[in-house]
């Protein structure tokens, strides 16, 4: 009987999950129903539905993907609807607008993503959003690796995947000899405080717990900061302050074809490995079009 009911549900809702026990049927039907209604509402450009999807006040049954458009794609459409309405001067629910900015923060283009994070920060600082502390923590953890990567690339830094860039962290500790003049130094990416602006560093230290021996007297002084970043104490500070995972996140982000394409269009020096098979797509500019939000 359970198989028959599942078959009818599939036929009636233009989508189906692999057969599961009858105990899961009510949940699966609810997911299919919410997905279908959300998809139709986004296609109509329904602002109220888009706000509800972004804030999870509507279409809450989304614990599994459905064949066809993903929930992530639907959220992207919802963000586009909300941001377009906001740009037209229409009243938009602040919670939905914040979530739309956070969707935009996943844009393939790094400066655009950071711009959305800045907008989200400004809205959050306005003091009208629910659960501001949790939102701030999530925003900070997303912004830190993006900001570090952006400043590094903007300063002329190289992400050369044919080099040993991922070994730069260990070379800080083992005090590897300096590279030949003009050669890429994989340690540069990990000396990230040097290419952050003073405003960036102030924001960073205001939002993250930092550990000794790095204090304001050092990070506000470029010369002292430069010297500190070439000591064993810097490596130890880096490890204790939780930046290893954050910079790993930044490097993993810039591995993806779409992100590499967007970075190279900006003129950033990002070099993929030949075995990744990206050369033709990058040379032809045949990257996936950036989302409109």
Percent of the chain scored above 90 by pLDDT? 50
Tens-digit pLDDT profile for residues 29-85: 888 888 889 999 999 999 999 999 999 999 888 877 888 889 899 999 999 999 999
Of 86, 111, 90, the C-alpha closest to 99 is 86
Do the Cβ atoms of 35 and 10 come closer than 8 Å? no
Helix ranges, the chain (H): 2-13, 25-44, 47-55, 71-87, 94-104, 110-125, 132-154, 168-174, 198-207, 216-219, 222-228, 232-240, 243-253, 257-265, 279-284
CA dist 68 and 70 (Å) reads 6
Count of residues in the chain:
293
Q: Which pLDDT band holds residue 17 (cuts at 50, 70, 90)?
A: very low
162 pLDDT higher than 70: yes
pTM for the full model? 0.82
pLDDT value of residue 182: 74
Q: For residue 244, give the DSSP letter.
A: H
Q: Where are the domains of the chain?
A: 1-95, 132-293
CA 176 to chain centre: 32
Cα–Cα distances (Å) from 133 to 57, 92, 106, in that order, read 20, 22, 21
Q: Two tokens at 285?
A: 């500019």
Tens-digit pLDDT profile for residues 102-133: 999 999 999 999 999 999 999 999 999 999 99
Tens-digit pLDDT profile for residues 207-242: 988 778 888 899 899 999 999 998 888 888 888 888
Average confidence score pLDDT of the chain? 84
């Amino acid at each position: 009987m359970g198989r028959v009911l599942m078959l009818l549900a599939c036929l009636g809702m233009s989508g189906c999950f692999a057969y599961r026990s009858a105990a899961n049927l009510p949940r699966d039907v609810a997911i299919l129903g919410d997905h279908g209604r959300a998809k139709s509402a986004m296609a109509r450009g329904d602002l109220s539905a888009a706000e509800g999807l972004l804030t999870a006040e509507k279409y809450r049954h989304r614990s599994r993907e459905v064949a066809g458009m993903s929930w992530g794609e639907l959220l992207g459409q919802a963000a586009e609807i909300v941001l377009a309405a906001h740009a037209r001067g229409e009243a938009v629910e602040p919670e939905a607008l914040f979530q739309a900015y956070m969707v935009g923060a996943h844009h393939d283009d790094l400066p655009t993503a950071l711009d959305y994070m800045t907008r989200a920060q400004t809205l959050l600082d306005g003091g009208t959003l629910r659960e501001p502390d949790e939102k701030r923590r999530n925003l900070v953890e997303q912004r830190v690796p993006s900001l570090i990567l952006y400043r590094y690339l903007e300063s002329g830094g190289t992400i050369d995947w044919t080099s040993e860039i991922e070994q730069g962290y260990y070379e800080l500790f083992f005090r590897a000899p300096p590279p030949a003049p003009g050669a890429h130094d994989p340690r540069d990416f990990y000396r990230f405080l040097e290419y952050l602006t003073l405003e960036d560093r102030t924001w960073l230290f205001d939002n993250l717990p930092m550990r000794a021996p790095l204090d304001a007297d050092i990070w506000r002084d470029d010369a002292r900061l430069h010297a500190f970043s070439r000591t064993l104490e810097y490596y130890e500070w880096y490890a204790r302050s939780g930046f290893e995972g954050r910079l790993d996140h930044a490097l993993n982000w810039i591995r993806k074809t779409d992100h590499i394409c967007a970075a190279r269009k900006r003129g950033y020096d990002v070099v993929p490995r030949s075995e990744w098979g990206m050369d033709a797509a990058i040379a032809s500019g045949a990257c996936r079009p950036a989302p409109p939000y």
